[in-house]
């Protein structure tokens, strides 16, 4: 019956197959029950996946009904035999259960289910033959089957029934096991997921989980089978998004509400050191490239980017499967990852977390042409070659090989296009051939040494290596324009004997051209090369040239990627060029993408040889960005001398200018009117440019320094322009007076620090790596003299990192200054008094730049936000700053460092420049999301309790309460017999003692700042000073002023490195006499009496209290005690643990934040 049924099915032909597929789509829609209704609702929504199925279903409805009737007759003839097989085989349990469930939906569904049930029965002998044939065939139409079989992944138990028990049960999917012919021989509705599964349609780790979740337990009773089948059907209806999505879905508009405060919307620039791939061309031109740590799928016609985000380090490798469905990316750095993505959905289907335990990352990577295996080469000193079965639920490689150091750093890797067990890689000096014997867990390799004596000619350094079209040779391109031809010697395979491993041997050196070959690949029947002069040449299998493109005037070729769509056959209207053979046949080749060393990307349409420049991006570091004050324009400057202006709303390039060689753009700033653009360069010059044409507005540029101009700032009326340069110069800051469109140098400042200058109406402020804040009076200044109004130190022990004007949220005018200690300080603009010290964002490094987000409307003025960047992140903070950790968020924007930041004029977008990663990222700001997080975090002190060890109910808070109330007793006298006054406050004089009792040791200057913060907290509103504090306010003050990472040895070690000497053990130490002298003479020095009292308390010689009792110590006795208690040499560890008795950690923990 089985063979007869398949014979009838094959006679139906392709049209009958389409009708079956329509029925397979129709059956799930008719399923009843709650899950069935859910499935029907989902399918009522527009889904491009069903476009090719629904139309044939309506047109061929009558033919489909006739086919069902023929299948029902076949079912009735073999009903008895089918029932016996169902009782014996566990696989048939699900089929019977589905049949019983579908009886409730109608007679038509019962007939269909019964017929399909009969067809899916496979006899053991036929099963073995089928498996043998399937294993030897490779699917050539994987992407086509995704449109024909959108719902064929519904079976869950058929894989064990069609596969021997000793087969690899853990494998989620055999990517080359099924052919199109076998797919036509399978039931369209109950197709085994392991057989029909297309290699490029399902995420492998999702398939494994889905298979385990969907397999019901086998039961003997009919009622139990029905329940099990119902659960199975309910699970089958929830298909994976990866398996049902088509390639047109990726660029559909996302109408969902934002879920992140900062959302990446666009990336300017691309990493030209990595390949660019031609993903699709049929309906829309889609490219794939890398920008910093983000993978970008770019639709050229729609001008739309889709971002694949998941890497925390710069991406070092990228490769793509032959059918352009699966992408593999890897990075370098700590916690490096290897991620496999689905190009249809953008979903990461598999992640390898421990690819490099050493943390060095991946240097080279390749994916097999059938997408079953992934090969990687690490970037460690001793490189490892790993082959991963990424389609399995495993986190370890299937095979690993360590390469000797003498092979050099292998930087290129590729698979044999017809044998996924063979690979080739090369360094600059060594080519290696690999043969993987999976059954023996062996990765054999052959790496013959090639020298100039081998061919008695100069070979040159290798660039790339590929397998020859004849598959018996390997070709290695060199920077001397030559090809090394390697013969592959494969021993005859035998099941019983093993004659040795295959190896390669150099047989020929072919001098193809004069130019260095940078790219070597194959397409169709051609071998293709790209060289350093921008030439692209095509050779046949005999290495005879067929055609070339040398008139395109390109720079050095970095990458070539051909369309997966074959070239259109020539017609009368075609304009293909002739090849260079004697026959002069038309040279028909696929369209392709060209990436060059100057970060330019081209598209070449071979029919007519039409070269289209897709985009030109900076080839060097991008450090300068600035947004127009009232238009959606952003200016981007690069060290290569290029300035580009974009419309960031329409994502459209407008105009650019490239300066002469040696002029690298370091800083850019628009003036408040938006008419001028100030540009600072790396060699110290400053240009004033027209904002719309980028032409010079001043006849000659300013030149006051020989080092980079790091900052430019205009006054509010554009009358003054201040610049700051690197600190390695005698003239770190200059000020110019602008007269209309021209600029005249007015002032030259010699004593300001190298940081951003921030101006207001009649004054200018600057702060930098040194602590003082300097205020200048511009109205009383003249040439070569800048009047200094005030010099004020902002901090003790830390240095300021950035400064901005605080928005008018209060009645006081503040300057907000961030420092290197992760603190945010508010200084009164008039008195320069530190009014508040607050805990700033702690995300691995201090804030380096901050700007207040412009308000979009008058209604948003009471709610303001601060956008900031640190070493590698961009963040958003709700103002006013109060230390609430829920008010702050940050995301990695440039792993190798952020070089600059700019905000759009309407406050909708933030832009970050990545420096050496050659990218600028546009972030959409969704402040409502952060506001929601704050509301979820709790009110009043609830967010602050989470910052304490153990929370409010923990031991630390209970001790804090005890110390607080004990301080009340102390202030009234411990031994007093008078009636005590019960209060919720303590006087300010007791605050330092409570701080030190709980482990925070502020300096005298910090104590003074704390006192001022509390005393003047309500002075502006009430005119009264505060002289006491309650416990909730004390908790806020403590959390905001304490060190962000607790007491650590790092700061003490730095002090001992400056003050001490290196002892015999190689440690930094201070002699006892010098140590005591430093305490009474340097810094916030003590008196001798205070010092002796402190040591007496530390050594346990004093009773409780700050001052010692007269009867317990004397000066002479204390001196003798110090000589006995203190060692001759004091190290950082002795001082921290032996003298102070602290329990502190070794590191600061900053990197982990």
Mean pLDDT of the 1074-1083 span: 88
Angle between helix axes 2-29 and 107-119 (nearest 10 degrees) is 140
Query: Which residue in the block uniquely carries the two structure tokens 């059956």?
Result: 27
Q: Which of 264-268, 925-929, 1062-1066 has the lowest mean pLDDT?
A: 1062-1066
What distance in Å separates the CA atoms of residue 69 and residue 62, rounded to the nearest whole number? Answer: 11
Mean pLDDT of the 621-628 span: 95
pTM: 0.77
Task: Tell me which of 217 and 1094 has the higher pLDDT.
Answer: 1094
Give the pLDDT of residue 977: 73
What distance in Å separates the CA atoms of residue 517 and residue 527, rounded to the nearest whole number? Answer: 12
What distance in Å separates the CA atoms of residue 940 and residue 944, rounded to the nearest whole number? Answer: 8
Q: Are 387 and 444 in contact (CB under 8 A)?
A: no
With bands split at pLDDT 50, 70 and 90, how would you rate the model's confidence at 200? Answer: very low
Give the pLDDT of residue 596: 95
Q: What is the 8-class DSSP label of residue 12?
A: H
Q: Which of 62-71, 171-180, 424-433 has the lowest mean pLDDT?
A: 171-180
The pair of structure tokens assigned to 584 is: 């002069």
Give the pLDDT of residue 743: 52
What distance in Å separates the CA atoms of residue 668 and residue 643, rounded to the nearest whole number? Answer: 9
Give the pLDDT of residue 152: 35
Residue 217 has pLDDT above 90, yes or no: no
Show the beta-strand stretches assigned E in 620-708.
622-627, 633-638, 642-647, 652-658, 665-670, 676-681, 685-690, 702-703
Mean pLDDT of the 991-1017 span: 91
Give the pLDDT of residue 1095: 82
Q: Which of 120-124, 264-268, 636-640 has the lowest mean pLDDT?
A: 120-124
Average of per-residue pLDDT values in the chain: 77
Rounded alpha-carbon distances, angstroms, from residue 703 to 36, 664, 687, 835, 983 = 75, 14, 9, 40, 66
What distance in Å separates the CA atoms of residue 901 and residue 623, rounded to the nearest whole number? Answer: 9
Residue 748 has pLDDT above 60, yes or no: no
Mean pLDDT of the 754-773 span: 49
Task: Tell me which of 916 and 229 has the higher pLDDT.
Answer: 916
Mean pLDDT of the 555-559 span: 95
CA geometry: angle 306, 238, 99, nearest 5 deg = 150
The pair of structure tokens assigned to 1033 is: 């306010």
Residue 549 has pLDDT above 80, yes or no: yes
The pair of structure tokens assigned to 1079 is: 């305490």
Mean pLDDT of the 256-274 span: 91
Q: Which of 244-248, 686-690, 1019-1023 has the lowest mean pLDDT?
A: 244-248
Residues ≥6 apart with Cβ < 8 Å to 514: 481
What distance in Å separates the CA atoms of residue 378 and residue 358, rounded to the nearest whole number? Answer: 9
What distance in Å separates the CA atoms of residue 792 and residue 774, rounded to the nearest whole number? Answer: 6
Give the pLDDT of residue 732: 54
Task: Find the helix or strand (DSSP H, E) in which 308 lies.
Answer: strand 304-309
Comparing C-alpha atoms, which of 881, 870, 871, 869 is closest to residue 910?
869
> Phi/psi of residue 966, each to 5°?
-65, -35
With bands split at pLDDT 50, 70 and 90, how would you rate the model's confidence at 156? Answer: very low
Q: Are 991 and 983 in contact (CB under 8 A)?
A: no
Helix locations, 989-1114, DSSP H = 991-997, 1004-1015, 1019-1022, 1031-1041, 1049-1059, 1072-1081, 1088-1098
Q: Are 841 and 870 in contact (CB under 8 A)?
A: yes
Task: Find the helix or strand (DSSP H, E) in which 724 lies.
Answer: strand 720-725
With bands split at pLDDT 50, 70 and 90, how would you rate the model's confidence at 415? Answer: very high
- Cα-Cα-Cα-Cα torsion 267, 271, 274, 275, nearest 10 degrees, comes to 50
For 340-389, how does the pLDDT look when each residue is reduced to its tens digit (9 = 90+)? 999 999 999 999 998 887 768 999 999 999 999 999 999 988 999 999 99
For 912-965, how does the pLDDT look when each residue is reduced to its tens digit (9 = 90+)? 999 999 999 999 999 999 999 999 999 889 999 999 989 999 999 999 999 998
Mean pLDDT of the 871-888 span: 94
Task: Find the helix or strand (DSSP H, E) in which 71 lies.
Answer: helix 61-77
What distance in Å separates the CA atoms of residue 1149 and residue 1099, rounded to the nearest whole number? Answer: 31
The pair of structure tokens assigned to 877 is: 């903070």
With bands split at pLDDT 50, 70 and 90, how would you rate the model's confidence at 558? Answer: very high
Residue 789 has pLDDT above 90, yes or no: no
Q: Which of 129-143, 620-634, 796-810, 909-923 has the lowest mean pLDDT?
A: 129-143
Comparing C-alpha atoms, which of 186, 196, 194 is closest to residue 17?
186
The percentage of the chain sitting over the pLDDT mark of 90, rounded to a whole number, equals 46
What distance in Å separates the CA atoms of residue 612 and residue 282, rounded to the nearest whole number? Answer: 18
Q: Which of 121-125, 529-533, 628-632 has the lowest mean pLDDT?
A: 121-125
Categorise residue 1078: left if φ over 0, alpha if ψ from -120 to 50, beta otherwise. Answer: alpha
The percentage of the chain sitting over the pLDDT mark of 70, rounded to a whole number, equals 72
Mean pLDDT of the 427-433 span: 94
Give the pLDDT of residue 742: 52
With bands split at pLDDT 50, 70 and 90, how would you rate the model's confidence at 434? Answer: very high
Q: How far apart are the first and last CA of the chain?
A: 68
Give the pLDDT of residue 526: 94
Give the pLDDT of residue 393: 73
Give the pLDDT of residue 542: 92
Give the pLDDT of residue 724: 87
With bands split at pLDDT 50, 70 and 90, how would you rate the model's confidence at 203? Answer: very low
The pair of structure tokens assigned to 991 is: 């605050």
For 814-843, how does the pLDDT look when each residue is reduced to its tens digit (9 = 90+)? 999 999 999 999 999 888 899 999 999 999
Q: Are 225 and 97 in contact (CB under 8 A)?
A: yes
What distance in Å separates the CA atoms of residue 444 and residue 400, rounded to the nearest whole number? Answer: 10
Residue 447 has pLDDT above 50, yes or no: yes
């Amino acid at each position: 019956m089985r063979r007869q049924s398949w014979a009838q099915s094959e006679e139906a032909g392709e049209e009958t197959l389409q009708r079956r597929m329509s029925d397979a789509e129709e059956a799930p829609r008719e399923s009843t029950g709650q899950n069935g209704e859910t499935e029907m609702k989902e399918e009522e929504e527009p889904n491009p996946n069903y476009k090719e199925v629904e139309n044939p279903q309506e047109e061929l409805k009558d033919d489909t009904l006739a086919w069902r009737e023929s299948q029902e007759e076949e079912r009735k003839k073999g009903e008895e035999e089918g029932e016996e097989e169902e009782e014996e085989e566990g696989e048939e349990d699900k089929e019977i259960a589905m049949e019983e469930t579908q009886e409730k939906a109608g007679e038509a569904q019962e007939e269909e289910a019964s017929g399909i049930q009969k067809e899916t029965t496979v006899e053991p002998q036929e099963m073995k033959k089928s498996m043998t044939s399937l294993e030897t065939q490779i699917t050539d139409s994987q992407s086509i089957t995704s449109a024909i079989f959108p719902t064929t992944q519904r079976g869950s138990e058929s894989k064990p029934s069609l596969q021997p028990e000793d087969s690899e049960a853990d494998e989620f999917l055999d990517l080359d096991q099924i052919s199109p012919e076998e797919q036509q021989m399978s039931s369209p509705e109950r197709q085994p997921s392991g057989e029909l599964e297309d290699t490029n349609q399902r995420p492998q780790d999702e398939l494994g989980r889905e298979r385990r979740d969907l397999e019901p337990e086998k039961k003997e009773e009919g009622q139990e089978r029905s329940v099990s089948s119902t659960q199975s059907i309910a699970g089958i209806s929830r298909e994976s998004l990866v398996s049902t999505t088509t390639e047109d879905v990726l660029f559909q508009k996302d109408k969902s509400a934002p879920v992140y405060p900062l959302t990446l919307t666009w990336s300017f620039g691309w990493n030209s050191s990595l390949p660019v791939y031609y993903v699709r061309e049929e309906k829309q031109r889609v490219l794939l490239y890398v920008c910093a740590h983000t993978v970008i799928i770019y639709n050229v016609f729609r001008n739309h980017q889709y971002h694949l985000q998941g890497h925390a380090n710069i991406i070092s490798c990228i490769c793509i499967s032959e059918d352009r469905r699966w992408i593999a990316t890897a990075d370098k750095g700590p916690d490096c990852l290897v991620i496999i993505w689905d190009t249809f959905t953008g979903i990461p289907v598999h992640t390898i977390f421990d690819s490099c335990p050493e943390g060095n990352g991946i240097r080279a990577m390749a994916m097999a042409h059938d997408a079953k295996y992934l090969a990687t080469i690490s970037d460690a000193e001793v490189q490892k070659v790993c082959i991963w079965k990424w389609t399995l639920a495993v986190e370890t490689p299937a095979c690993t090989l360590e390469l000797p150091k003498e092979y050099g750093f292998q930087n290129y890797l590729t698979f044999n296009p017809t044998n996924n067990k063979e690979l080739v890689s090369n360094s600059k000096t060594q080519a290696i051939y690999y043969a993987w014997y999976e059954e023996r867990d062996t990765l054999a390799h052959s790496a013959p040494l090639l020298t100039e004596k081998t061919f008695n000619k100069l070979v040159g350094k290798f660039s790339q290596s590929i397998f020859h079209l004849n598959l018996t040779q390997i070709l290695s391109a060199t920077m001397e324009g030559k090809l090394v031809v390697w013969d592959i010697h494969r021993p005859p395979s035998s099941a019983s004997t093993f004659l040795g491993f295959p190896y390669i041997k150099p047989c020929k050196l072919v001098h193809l051209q004069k130019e260095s070959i940078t790219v070597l690949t194959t397409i169709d029947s051609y071998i293709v090369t790209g060289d350093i002069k921008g030439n692209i040449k095509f050779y046949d299998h005999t290495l005879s040239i067929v055609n070339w493109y040398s008139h395109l005037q390109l720079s050095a070729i970095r990458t070539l990627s051909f369309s997966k769509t074959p070239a259109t056959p020539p017609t009368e209207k075609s304009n293909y060029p002739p090849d260079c053979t004697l026959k002069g046949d038309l040279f028909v080749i696929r369209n392709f993408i060209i990436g060059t060393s100057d970060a330019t990307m081209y598209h070449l349409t071979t029919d007519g040889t039409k070269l289209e420049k897709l985009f030109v991006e900076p080839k060097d570091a991008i450090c300068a960005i600035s947004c127009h004050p009232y238009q959606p324009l952003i200016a981007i400057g690069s060290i290569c001398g290029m300035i580009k202006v974009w419309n960031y709303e329409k994502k459209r390039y407008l105009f650019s200018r490239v300066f002469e060689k040696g002029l690298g753009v370091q800083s850019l700033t628009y003036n408040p009117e938006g008419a001028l653009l100030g540009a600072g360069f790396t060699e110290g010059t400053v240009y004033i440019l027209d904002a719309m044409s980028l032409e010079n507005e001043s006849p000659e540029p300013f030149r006051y320094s020989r080092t980079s101009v790091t900052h430019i700032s205009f006054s509010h009326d554009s009358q003054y322009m201040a610049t700051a340069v690197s600190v390695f110069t005698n003239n770190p800051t200059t000020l110019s007076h602008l007269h209309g469109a021209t600029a005249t140098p007015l002032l030259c400042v010699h004593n300001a620090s190298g940081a951003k200058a921030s101006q207001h109406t009649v004054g200018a402020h600057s702060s930098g790596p040194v602590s003082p804040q300097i205020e200048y009076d511009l109205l009383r200044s003249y040439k070569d003299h800048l009047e200094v109004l005030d010099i004020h130190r902002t901090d003790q022990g830390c240095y300021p990192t950035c400064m901005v004007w605080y928005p008018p949220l209060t009645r006081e005018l503040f300057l907000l200054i961030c420092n290197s200690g992760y603190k945010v300080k508010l200084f009164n603009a008039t008195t320069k008094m530190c009014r508040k010290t607050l805990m700033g964002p702690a995300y691995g490094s201090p804030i380096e730049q901050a700007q207040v987000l412009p308000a979009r409307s008058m209604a948003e003025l009471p709610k303001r936000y601060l956008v900031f960047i640190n070493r590698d992140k961009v963040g958003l903070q709700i103002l006013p700053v109060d230390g609430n950790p829920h008010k702050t968020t940050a995301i990695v924007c440039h792993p190798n460092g952020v070089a600059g930041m700019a905000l759009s004029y309407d406050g909708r977008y933030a832009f970050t420049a990545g420096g050496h990663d050659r990218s600028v990222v546009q972030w959409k700001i969704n402040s409502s999301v952060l506001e929601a997080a704050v509301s979820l975090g709790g009110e009043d002190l609830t967010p602050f309790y989470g910052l304490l060890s153990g929370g409010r109910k923990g031991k630390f808070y209970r001790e804090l309460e005890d110390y607080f109330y004990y301080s009340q007793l102390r202030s009234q006298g411990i031994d007093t017999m008078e009636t005590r006054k019960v209060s919720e406050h303590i006087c300010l004089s007791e605050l330092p003692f409570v701080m030190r009792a709980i482990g925070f040791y502020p300096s005298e200057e910090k104590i003074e700042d704390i006192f001022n913060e509390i005393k003047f907290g309500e002075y502006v509103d009430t005119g009264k000073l505060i002289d006491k504090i309650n416990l909730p306010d004390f908790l806020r003050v403590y959390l905001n002023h304490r060190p962000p990472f607790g007491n650590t040895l790092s700061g003490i070690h730095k002090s001992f490195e400056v003050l001490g000497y290196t002892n015999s053990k190689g440690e930094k130490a201070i002699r006892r006499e010098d140590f005591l002298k430093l305490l009474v003479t340097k810094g916030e020095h003590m008196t001798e009496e205070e010092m002796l009292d402190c040591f007496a308390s530390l050594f346990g010689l004093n009773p409780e209290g700050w001052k010692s009792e007269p009867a317990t110590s004397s000066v002479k006795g204390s001196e003798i005690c110090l000589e006995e208690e203190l060692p001759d040499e004091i190290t950082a560890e002795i001082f921290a643990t032996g003298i102070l008795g602290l329990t502190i950690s070794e590191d600061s923990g900053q990197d982990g934040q």
